[in-house]
Structure 1
Amino acid sequence: MTRPAKRTTIADVARTAGVSGATVSFVLNDTPGQSIPEETRQRVLEAVRQLGYRPRGSARALASGRSDVVLLSIPHLSIGPGITRFVEQFATSLAHAGLTLVTHLAGAPGRSLPDVCAAIDASVVASLDPLDDETAQALRGAGADIVFTTELAAHSIMRRTGRRQAEHLIALGHRRLGYALPQHALLRKIADERLHGAADACAQAGLEPPLALETKLDTAATARAARRWRREAVTAVCAYNDEIAIALLAGMRQARLTAPGDLAVIGADDIPLAQVADPPLSTIAFDLEKVGRSLADAVVASLSGREPQPAPASLEPHVIQRAST
């Protein structure tokens, strides 16, 4: 069995460069008030490159009083393309500021969020779900200097998504709506909130609640649902997300139904495939990349002692109309 390579230490760098460990530390941390000759500085940096030395995060945190780790708590749900885009942009923007993102599934089996925060020595914790006062206090006790919550997974934005779907269809003249729900248990929390939002829009327009049917990513199943909606005089369907909506369009073709002639269909999340569906899919979109950049800017501002800017208005869901409606 091959033994793991021994981690390079400051002592190794100091020995290679022919200087003290303190001198190496002064050079790497660019310590103010230390007059290190340029030739010595370059010798230390060359030893660092030669040995592949990487400072330990805990050592940097001890020197600076704060780690560079940001912990993001994501609800224990099926992670869709929208949240993925947000996380990618958030991580990239933090990296540009020298910060590292670690994600944690809230509610999944294993350690609690405060325990994870303490284990990785996170300076900042951001959560996509609201945090109760007890959890926020525990996070600060675990070492987090800053605790953020965002609106991405909040009930209000989920309801606004369903409301915008239904409002769009009602504005087009539809008076009997359906709602395509997923079977996956991890998706039902979000799906039910979106359905409630659509029902709110129907109630405000004096219409019956949407006829909600559970379906899956299966052409035969969505064909059966489409036939049922037509028998019940439904003329337009809100789908939980774009994947369900695209599956519904395929089922409609099998059932010899057209969109929007027989059933208008609108999805949510604006995945790349939505615009090349047959027909191109109307959907609800968010500028999640902008939200990721905005949250990263708020983290950096807070760490620098500045007042973070409020969340961007682009978080408001908006309709992208295509041929399916």
Structure 2
Amino acid sequence: MADEKRSRRRVTSVDVAREAGLSRATVSFVLNDTPGQSIPEATRQRVLQAAERLGYTPYAPARTLRSGRSDVAVFVLPDWPQGPTMTEFVDRAAQVLSRAGLTLVTHVHTGDEQRLARLWTTLTPAAVFGMRPFTSVELAGMRKAGISAILPAAEESGHDVSTTLWAKGVGRLQAEHLIRKGHTRLAYVLSDEPRLAALGQGRAEGAVEACAAVGLAPPIVSTIALDATSAAEATESWRDGASACEAAPTAVCAYNDEVALAILAGMRMLGLSAPADLAVIGADDIPGARFAAPPLTTVAQNSGELGARIAKALLEALEGGSPDLDLLPGDIHVVERVSA
């Protein structure tokens, strides 16, 4: 009965001391790897073997009090719908951090600075990464909580992964691909999901920059609901708005693959086909993109590799280094299929 009762509660260092037949102080020195203690190797092994037999694991809050921080890394993410790209980003980062003994926790930041400050008090994380730059108030709160490994650092406050890679970089690549195909009049179609407004605007701005670089007019920007009827209405509006001075778009960049699939469905309602009547390029390379009718040209993002690199940068920061957060051109690339 005693063994059954013990199995229902957390095993403590007291249990390990009893199992090993040693003092609590000796067991504590071994389990906490306390510096400055001369513990014979045979005694240390005796403690570790007893701990393993009982299934002992350190109590996280107590360990945090001793070290001043937890074995937790926090990724502060934007308030976006979390799709496959973000999932892969987080999963790879978690793998890298786990091998280093850290647990990754993600926090979706809705702009509430007080809530973010409470998070530092609750978790006392070892390291923090922000997908978007932290404000001066947020940085001050982290410093006050004793968090030293923060990316981007205060001097890199302009760093913004969401803008430089997943926004402008995507839109620029989409437009550049269509321009290389000979298209000179483009449209850009955004989602009407409010949480995607900032990211969508960034992608559209990337397409504007690509057009400006070769002397073309900026894309016509439309916003649609995620359905075929809304997409068909937008497509008709471009054609109806064409004039002798301004031609209708012959190619469209979609905010993401879901929007691109809606456009393709809307085109079918109008009796149009891609790429003959209108070339279409999406973004994110979701699994269904290759099965679209026609298969969808898209921009893929090496989000897993990016997640791993950021995790390694955090580990370097924990060691007192100054990691480089430069984003490589290969982090995003066009996957060419039939639609554009």
For residue 305 of structure 1, what is the aligned residue in structure 2? 320
For residue 212 of structure 2, what is the aligned residue in structure 1? 203
Q: CA deviation at 1:165?
A: 1.3
- Could you say what secondary structure the match of 2:167 adopts? helix
Q: CA deviation at 1:155?
A: 5.7
For residue 136 of structure 1, what is the aligned residue in structure 2? 139
For residue 217 of structure 1, what is the aligned residue in structure 2? 226
RCO comparison, higher one (Cα < 8 Å, 6+)? 2
From 59, 72, 78, the counterpart of 1:69: 72
1:124 correspondence with 2:134: no
Mark the CA change 1:162 to 1:312 in structure 2 (over 3 Å): closer, same or farther. Answer: closer
For residue 179 of structure 2, what is the aligned residue in structure 1? 170
For residue 242 of structure 1, what is the aligned residue in structure 2? 257
If the length of structure 1 is used for normalisation, what is the TM-score? 0.88
Verify the 8 A CA contact 1:69 1:102 in the aligned structure 2: yes
Q: Which amino acid aligns with 1:163?
A: R
For residue 92 of structure 1, what is the aligned residue in structure 2? 95
For residue 245 of structure 2, what is the aligned residue in structure 1? none
Structure 2 counterparts to residues 3-152 of structure 1, below 5 A: 5-31=8-34, 34-37=37-40, 40-107=43-110, 111-149=114-152, 151-152=160-161
- Could you say what secondary structure the match of 1:267 adopts? strand
CA distance in 1, matches of 2:199, 2:325: 24
Structure 2 counterparts to residues 221-232 of structure 1, below 5 A: 221-231=230-240, 232=242
For residue 156 of structure 2, what is the aligned residue in structure 1? none
Mark the CA change 1:187 to 1:81 in structure 2 (over 3 Å): closer, same or farther. Answer: same
Deviations 1:53-93 (A, max 9, x none): 22122332344454211111111222232222111111111
Segment of structure 1 superposing worse, 292-301 or 16-25 = 16-25
Deviations 1:36-67 (A, max 9, x none): 45554454334433433221223323444542
Q: Which amino acid aligns with 1:286?
A: Q
Mark the CA change 1:272 to 1:109 in structure 2 (over 3 Å): closer, same or farther. Answer: same
Unaligned runs of 5+ in 2: 1-6, 153-158, 243-247
1:320 correspondence with 2:335: yes
Mark the CA change 1:310 to 1:60 in structure 2 (over 3 Å): closer, same or farther. Answer: same
Segment of structure 1 superposing worse, 106-115 or 206-215 = 106-115
CA distance in 2, matches of 1:201, 1:43: 67
The alignment of Structure 1 onto Structure 2 pairs a total of residues equal to 322
Segment of structure 1 superposing worse, 271-280 or 91-100 = 271-280
Verify the 8 A CA contact 2:84 2:286 in the aligned structure 1: yes
Over aligned residues, Cα RMSD in angstroms?
A: 2.5
Deviations 1:87-116 (A, max 9, x none): 111111100111111111112668532321
For residue 190 of structure 1, what is the aligned residue in structure 2? 199
For residue 283 of structure 1, what is the aligned residue in structure 2? 298
- Could you say what secondary structure the match of 1:88 adopts? helix
Verify the 8 A CA contact 1:285 1:318 in the aligned structure 2: yes
Verify the 8 A CA contact 1:286 1:314 in the aligned structure 2: no
Q: Which amino acid aligns with 1:301?
A: E
Verify the 8 A CA contact 1:128 1:154 in the aligned structure 2: no
CA distance in 1, matches of 2:133, 2:266: 38
CA distance in 2, matches of 1:38, 1:205: 71
Verify the 8 A CA contact 2:128 2:314 in the aligned structure 1: no
Q: CA deviation at 1:17?
A: 2.6
CA distance in 2, matches of 1:298, 1:203: 35
Segment of structure 1 superposing worse, 129-138 or 235-244 = 129-138
- Could you say what secondary structure the match of 1:112 adopts? helix
- Could you say what secondary structure the match of 1:208 adopts? coil
For residue 180 of structure 1, what is the aligned residue in structure 2? 189
For residue 274 of structure 1, what is the aligned residue in structure 2? 289
